[in-house]
Chain A
Amino acid sequence: MINKAPLLEIKNLCTEFITANGVLHAVDDVTFSLLDREALGVVGESGSGKSVTALSILRLFGPLDQVVTTGQILFEGVNLLKLSDAELRHIRGRQIAMVFQDPLTSLNPVMPVGEQIAEMLRYHCDLQRAVARRRAQELMELVGIGEPARRFDDLPEQFSGGMRQRIMIAIAIACEPKLLIADEPTTALDVTVQSQVLMLLNRLREQLGMALMMISHDLGVIAATCDSAQVMYGGRLVERGKIADILHHPNHPYTAALLRLVPRIDGALLRKLSPIPGQPTPILGSWRGCRFAPRCEFAHDRCQSDDPPAFTVGTDHVSACWLAEERSASMNKGVHHEGHEEHAPTFILPRGTRGRKEEGEI
């Protein structure tokens, strides 16, 4: 990795929603950083706080949401939480762009798609109308939409889901942001289109030199696009590491359980997927101990009472689990020790280990 200050540094971020039923800790003391041009995957089930982390970065809450955000979100050294709304608007779209989950509803239904790209260029890059139109067509070409001149004035309803997500991506990259946040960009698409969109994101990231924060519940998606991954559970960051480490040597029991849930094409025919017993931790009100303890097969007394801090368990590999403490200690003594050994499904391969010939399909 490039050795310099991180592009995005999040320190002790807590995002709480004040609701009628009490305080909802959507993101609870999360710290991580993202280097320039790095691709980071954020994995977790619904309600794990992965999307709210992204929304917190750009402060994308509704006017009626009562949100308390504490901690620091440093983007190129500037704390975004301290910026005024007007100052933040200059970051949104221009420096940090976002692609949303559902391409069917994230485009304005009564505005020609080309116009929606051009609007972005006119607004943020101060381009003239004609120049913006030309550039928008180039962007449409770039994201793989044929005959952009003819399709410029088409309405979103004339495009398929995958095409609309390409348009969304074109809007997001229009101003060449330094960071692209993709919030489950492929969840609403079918599998073949999914892989095309992921390949497109990879290609654009390399061409434009963006950093990528990919939010997904799908480890396959993360593996296909990211250099490193972090796993969230109940608003907490439970494990972070290089993608290969997370997939092949998961340390946290939750990560290990998630990996067991991925169906394997080479697995035994009658192998059953083992769902994680129980329900996700309610994040309403206060909580003592590890969030995952009630569902964890390795939980012991300490997990119920004390919050596990993040232990370093390998190079760039941290895990917030009391079981990792021992390993962390032994690592410091120089003893190599493997925890839960898991074999990643073969179709989930880290970036770079898979053949790149899929590129041609775009």
Chain B
Amino acid sequence: MAVIIGAPTNHKSETGGVPAPAVRRFTSWSLVIWMGFLLGIAVFALTGSDLAPYDPATQQVLARLLPPLSSSSRGFHWLGTDQLGRDLLSNMIAGARLTLFIGFVSNCAGMALGVALGMLAGYYGGAVDRFVMRLSEAQTAMPMFLVAIFFLTVLGPTVLNVVIILPTLIWPAFARLVRAETMRLRGCLFVEAAVASGSTDWGVLWVHILPNIASRIAVLAVIELGHVMLAEAGLSFLGVGVQPPATTWGLLIARGRAYLAVAWWLAIMPGIMLGLTVLALNMLSRRFATLSGTAA
């Protein structure tokens, strides 16, 4: 399992055939588990309710609020049932799709926006830089979550609006990182050499600067995916995000809140799932950072 990359071969001989602890491993057991967890979530998100044990929408009044690991006339319920007798596990599997979809799309949009603005600011400097940085500071100064709630209340809580508003929460993180990196690379001789050999600004940014900062962007993107998923859960929890009958984990938590005293699992189980996913993403990004030699 321990695939060693970048480890000098003489390193081994120095320590008498035993790899030193400092040797970077491509994988470790904890990482395998986290990766497997994320992969499983992704499979559930892609296949949706096909893998669920029951139809998530089917109600069963006689089997209301069953605790986890109990049975009904339909069969076994791993995570119990809700106030209408719907299977919680099936609902969480069904909710994975929209949760991950919104997180992924919003994250990509926020990343694209932040990377584009950051590269322009870092490369051209001057007025462009001042404009982008003031915009990013304005965003940081405003309680963006409240702005998002306001926006969704006015324009309506639809999936499209959620996907439009979420990127505005995360782009400054990308813009600031990319701006700083672009400014550093802008002064590098290989960028000047590219200009000297006739590259256009676009060519320099796309061919020379972006590939050099891609690893750092990837590290940040994985962390921000967790943030976006949490923000989506927050909005759905407050009722301005995704609306039923569509389901996300955030919405499941919101629905379970009313029954917290009598059926704790309805809010806690999706909450644990969300927490584990965000934790797994953080673990992954930390490993990315170590591997690419960048501190996130």
A residues engaging B (CB < 8 A)?
Answer: 58, 60, 62-64, 89-94, 97-98, 100-102, 105-111, 119-120, 123-124, 168, 171-172
Q: Closest chain A residue to B186 by CB distance? A: A62
A103 and B92 alpha carbons, distance in the complex (Å): 56
Known: A108-B190, A108-B212, A109-B212. A97 touches B196 (CB 8 A): yes
A101 and B196 alpha carbons, distance in the complex (Å): 13
Q: Which of B126, B188, B198, B211 contacts A93 (CB 8 A)?
A: B198
Q: Flag if B195 contacts A172 (CB, 8 Å).
A: no
A94 and B199 alpha carbons, distance in the complex (Å): 11
Q: Flag if B123 contacts A63 (CB, 8 Å).
A: yes
From residue B197, how far is it (CB to closest CB) to chain A in Å? 4
A116 and B243 alpha carbons, distance in the complex (Å): 51
B192 interfacial by beta-carbon distance below 8 Å: yes
B125 interfacial by beta-carbon distance below 8 Å: yes
B24 interfacial by beta-carbon distance below 8 Å: no
Q: Which of A93, A106, A172 contacts B189 (CB 8 A)?
A: A106
Q: Which of A89, A91, A106, A120 contacts B190 (CB 8 A)?
A: A106
Known: A62-B186, A64-B125, A111-B211. A120 touches B193 (CB 8 A): no
Task: Specify which chain A residues have a CB less than 8 angstroms from the CB of B189 in the assembled complex.
Answer: 100-102, 105-106
Q: Flag if B195 contacts A92 (CB, 8 Å).
A: yes
Task: Specify which chain A residues have a CB less than 8 angstroms from the CB of B214 in the assembled complex.
Answer: 110
Q: Flag if A108 contacts B194 (CB, 8 Å).
A: yes
Q: Which of B123, B186, B196, B211 contacts A58 (CB 8 A)?
A: B196
From residue B280, how far is it (CB to closest CB) to chain A in Å? 28
B27 interfacial by beta-carbon distance below 8 Å: no
7 contacting pairs across A/B (C-beta < 8 A): A63-B123, A92-B198, A97-B197, A101-B189, A105-B190, A120-B197, A124-B198
B37 interfacial by beta-carbon distance below 8 Å: no
Q: Which 9 residue pairs are nearest across A and B when measured between Cβ atoms?
A: A93-B198, A93-B197, A92-B198, A106-B189, A98-B196, A105-B189, A106-B193, A64-B125, A89-B198
Task: Specify which chain A residues have a CB less than 8 angstroms from the CB of B200 in the assembled complex.
Answer: 89
From residue B290, how far is it (CB to closest CB) to chain A in Å? 18
Known: A64-B125, A110-B212. A98 touches B207 (CB 8 A): no
Q: Closest chain A residue to B195 by CB distance? A: A60
A175 and B229 alpha carbons, distance in the complex (Å): 51
B208 interfacial by beta-carbon distance below 8 Å: yes
Known: A64-B125, A110-B212. A90 touches B198 (CB 8 A): yes
Task: Specify which chain B residues have a CB less than 8 angstroms from the CB of A58 in the assembled complex.
Answer: 196
A97 and B203 alpha carbons, distance in the complex (Å): 17
From residue A36, how far is it (CB to closest CB) to chain B in Å? 21
Task: Specify which chain A residues have a CB less than 8 angstroms from the CB of B199 in the assembled complex.
Answer: 89, 123
Q: Which of A90, A97, A101, A106 has the most CB of B within 10 A?
A: A106
Q: Flag if B207 contacts A168 (CB, 8 Å).
A: no
Q: Which of B123, B186, B192 has the most CB of A within 10 A?
A: B192
Task: Specify which chain B residues have a CB less than 8 angstroms from the CB of A62 in the assembled complex.
Answer: 186-187
B124 interfacial by beta-carbon distance below 8 Å: yes
A168 and B190 alpha carbons, distance in the complex (Å): 10
Q: Which of A64, A91, A100 contacts B192 (CB 8 A)?
A: A100
Q: Which of A90, A108, A109 has the most CB of B within 10 A?
A: A108
From residue A215, how far is it (CB to closest CB) to chain B in Å? 13
Q: Which of B125, B188, B190, B211 contacts A63 (CB 8 A)?
A: B125
Task: Specify which chain B residues have a CB less than 8 angstroms from the CB of A107 in the assembled complex.
Answer: 190, 193
Q: Closest chain A residue to B212 by CB distance? A: A110
Known: A63-B123, A64-B125, A123-B203. A105 touches B188 (CB 8 A): yes
A108 and B195 alpha carbons, distance in the complex (Å): 12
Q: Which of B123, B194, B203, B207 has the most CB of A within 10 A?
A: B194
A58 and B203 alpha carbons, distance in the complex (Å): 17
Known: A63-B124, A63-B125, A105-B188. A123 touches B198 (CB 8 A): yes
Q: Could you mark each residue 154-191 of chain B with 1 if its beta carbon is under 8 Å from any beta carbon of chain A, else 0?
A: 00000000000000000000000000000000111110
252-277 of chain B: CB within 8 A of chain A: none
Known: A63-B126, A105-B188, A105-B190. A92 touches B203 (CB 8 A): no
Q: Could you mark each residue 75-92 of chain B with 1 if its beta carbon is under 8 Å from any beta carbon of chain A, else 0?
A: 000000000000000000
A97 and B200 alpha carbons, distance in the complex (Å): 15
Q: Flag if A108 contacts B208 (CB, 8 Å).
A: yes
Known: A108-B208, A110-B211. A98 touches B197 (CB 8 A): yes
Task: Specify which chain B residues have a CB less than 8 angstroms from the CB of A108 in the assembled complex.
Answer: 190, 194, 207-208, 211-212
Q: Could you mark each residue 122-135 of chain B with 1 if its beta carbon is under 8 Å from any beta carbon of chain A, else 0?
A: 01111000000000
A64 and B124 alpha carbons, distance in the complex (Å): 8
Task: Specify which chain A residues have a CB less than 8 angstroms from the CB of B197 in the assembled complex.
Answer: 92-93, 97-98, 120, 124, 171-172
A194 and B230 alpha carbons, distance in the complex (Å): 58
Q: Flag if B190 contacts A92 (CB, 8 Å).
A: no
A101 and B189 alpha carbons, distance in the complex (Å): 9
From residue A169, how far is it (CB to closest CB) to chain B in Å? 12
